[in-house]
Structure 1
Amino acid sequence: MGGAEEGNEGASLASVGADARKRRVSYFYEPTIGDYYYGQGHPMKPHRIRMAHNLVVHYSLHRLMEISRPYPASSLDIRRFHSDDYVHFLSSVTPEAVAAATAGAGNAAPDPSAPSPPPTLKQLKRFNVGEDCPVFDGLFEFCQASAGGSIGAAVKLNLGDADIALNWAGGLHHAKKGEASGFCYVNDIVLGILELLKYHKRVLYVDIDVHHGDGVEEAFFTTDRVMTVSFHKFGDFFPGTGHIKDIGFGQGKYYALNVPLNDGMDDESFKGMFKAIIRKVMEVYQPEAVVLQCGADSLSGDRLGCFNLSVRGHADCLRFLRSFNVPLMVLGGGGYTIRNVARCWCYETAVAVGVEPENKLPYNEYYEYFGPDYTLHIEPKNMENQNNPKDLEKIRTVLLEHLSKIQHVPSVQFQARPPNAEPPEEEEVDLDKRPKRSLWAGDYYESDAEEYQIEDKEDLKEDGMLHDHDLDSVDNTTVDSDSRMDGKV
Structure 2
Amino acid sequence: MSALVDYPTFSDSPFFFDRRNLHIAQPESALMQQHSAPSVSYYFPKHVGNYHYGERHPMRPHRLELTNNLVLGYGLHEKMAMYNPRRATEDELCEFHDEDYIDFLKRVTPANAQKLTKDYTLYNIGDDCPVFHDLFSFCQQYAGGTLAAARKLSQGGTDIAINWSGGLHHAKKGEASGFCYVNDIVLGILELLRYHPRVLYIDIDIHHGDGVQEAFYLSNRVLTVSFHKYAADFFPGTGNLSEIGANLGKHFALNVPLHDGIDDESYISLFKAVMEPTITTFRPDAIVLQCGADSLGCDRLGTFNLSIAAHGECVRFIKTFGLPLIALGGGGYRQSSVARCWAYETGVLTGTDLPVALPQNNYLEFFGPDYSLHPPLSGHIQNMNSRQYLERIRMSIREKLRYLNGAPSVQMQEIPPDLQGLLESEERKKEERDEEAHNGMAGEDRSDGPQKRNEFYDTEVGGDGSGAGATAAGLGPRGKKTIRF
Q: Is the 8 A contact 1:275 1:320 kept in 2?
A: yes
1:355 is aligned to: 352
- Are 2:102 and 1:87 aligned? yes
- Are 2:255 and 1:258 aligned? yes
One-letter amino acid of the counterpart of residue 331, structure 1: L
1:425 is aligned to: 426
1:392 is aligned to: 390
1:282 is aligned to: 279
User: CA separation in 1, counterparts of 2:392 and 2:334?
Assistant: 32
Cα offset, 1:412, TM superposition: 1.0
Superposed counterparts of 1:204-243, under 5 Å: 204-235=200-231, 236-243=233-240
2:24 is aligned to: 13
User: CA separation in 2, counterparts of 1:257 and 1:29?
Assistant: 30
User: CA separation in 1, counterparts of 2:276 and 2:130?
Assistant: 39
Cα offset, 1:407, TM superposition: 1.0
Cα offset, 1:405, TM superposition: 1.1
Q: Flag structure 1 segments of 5+ consecutive residues without an equivalent.
A: 1-7, 107-118, 428-489
Q: Is the 8 A contact 2:74 2:354 kept in 1?
A: yes
User: CA separation in 2, counterparts of 1:202 and 1:342?
Assistant: 31
1:161 is aligned to: 157
- Are 2:303 and 1:292 aligned? no
User: CA separation in 2, counterparts of 1:26 and 1:10?
Assistant: 25
Change (3 A) 1:179 1:361: same
Give the alignment partner of residue 408 of structure 2, picking from 384, 387, 410: 410
Q: Is the 8 A contact 1:155 1:420 kept in 2?
A: no
One-letter amino acid of the counterpart of residue 96, structure 1: A
User: CA separation in 2, counterparts of 1:425 and 1:285?
Assistant: 36
User: CA separation in 2, counterparts of 1:140 and 1:417?
Assistant: 30
Q: Deviations over 1:323-349 (max 9, x none)?
A: 000000000000000000000000000
Q: Secondary structure at the match of 1:95?
A: coil
Cα offset, 1:9, TM superposition: 11
Cα offset, 1:408, TM superposition: 2.5
Superposed counterparts of 1:114-125, under 5 Å: 119=116, 121-125=117-121
Give the alignment partner of residue 174 of structure 1, picking from 143, 164, 170: 170
Q: Deviations over 1:2-34 (max 9, x none)?
A: xxxxxx997523542257741100000012111
Q: Secondary structure at the match of 2:390?
A: helix
One-letter amino acid of the counterpart of residue 50, structure 1: E
Superposed counterparts of 1:363-374, under 5 Å: 363-374=360-371
Q: Deviations over 1:192-251 (max 9, x none)?
A: 000000110000000000000000000000000000000000012100000011000011
Q: Is the 8 A contact 2:170 2:209 kept in 1?
A: yes
Give the alignment partner of residue 76 of structure 1, picking from 91, 98, 103: 91
User: CA separation in 2, counterparts of 1:214 and 1:222?
Assistant: 14
Superposed counterparts of 1:143-158, under 5 Å: 143-158=139-154
Q: Flag structure 2 segments of 5+ consecutive residues without an equivalent.
A: 1-18, 429-485
1:317 is aligned to: 314
Cα offset, 1:163, TM superposition: 0.4
User: CA separation in 2, counterparts of 1:194 and 1:410?
Assistant: 17
Q: Is the 8 A contact 2:22 2:355 kept in 1?
A: no
Q: Secondary structure at the match of 1:229?
A: strand
Q: Is the 8 A contact 1:10 1:59 kept in 2?
A: no
Cα RMSD after superposing both structures: 1.5
Give the alignment partner of residue 26 of structure 1, picking from 41, 44, 66: 41
2:75 is aligned to: 60
- Are 2:183 and 1:187 aligned? yes
Q: Is the 8 A contact 2:66 2:363 kept in 1?
A: yes
User: CA separation in 2, counterparts of 1:185 and 1:10?
Assistant: 42
Cα offset, 1:426, TM superposition: 4.6
Q: Is the 8 A contact 2:307 2:378 kept in 1?
A: no
Q: Is the 8 A contact 1:13 1:355 kept in 2?
A: no
User: CA separation in 1, counterparts of 2:129 and 2:96?
Assistant: 19
Q: Is the 8 A contact 1:10 1:60 kept in 2?
A: no
One-letter amino acid of the counterpart of residue 392, structure 1: L
Q: Is the 8 A contact 1:14 1:356 kept in 2?
A: yes
Q: Secondary structure at the match of 1:134?
A: coil
Give the alignment partner of residue 380 of structure 1, picking from 353, 377, 398: 377
Q: Is the 8 A contact 2:25 2:76 kept in 1?
A: no
One-letter amino acid of the counterpart of residue 413, structure 2: Q
Q: Is the 8 A contact 2:25 2:74 kept in 1?
A: no
User: CA separation in 2, counterparts of 1:46 and 1:426?
Assistant: 30
Q: Secondary structure at the match of 1:377?
A: coil
Q: Secondary structure at the match of 2:136?
A: helix
Q: Is the 8 A contact 1:203 1:289 kept in 2?
A: yes
| Stretch moving more, 169-178 or 27-36 | 27-36
What is the TM-score when the length of structure 1 is the normalising length?
0.80
Q: Is the 8 A contact 1:300 1:308 kept in 2?
A: yes
User: CA separation in 2, counterparts of 1:420 and 1:69?
Assistant: 20
Cα offset, 1:411, TM superposition: 1.2
User: CA separation in 2, counterparts of 1:45 and 1:337?
Assistant: 9
Q: Is the 8 A contact 1:157 1:163 kept in 2?
A: yes
Cα offset, 1:306, TM superposition: 0.5
User: CA separation in 1, counterparts of 2:219 and 2:269?
Assistant: 28
User: CA separation in 2, counterparts of 1:307 and 1:426?
Assistant: 47
The size of the alignment, in residue pairs, is 401
Q: Is the 8 A contact 2:305 2:378 kept in 1?
A: yes
One-letter amino acid of the counterpart of residue 87, structure 1: I
Q: Secondary structure at the match of 1:259?
A: strand
Cα offset, 1:420, TM superposition: 3.0
One-letter amino acid of the counterpart of residue 238, structure 2: T
Q: Is the 8 A contact 1:11 1:59 kept in 2?
A: no
Q: Is the 8 A contact 1:71 1:145 kept in 2?
A: yes
2:481 is aligned to: none
Q: Is the 8 A contact 1:210 1:232 kept in 2?
A: yes
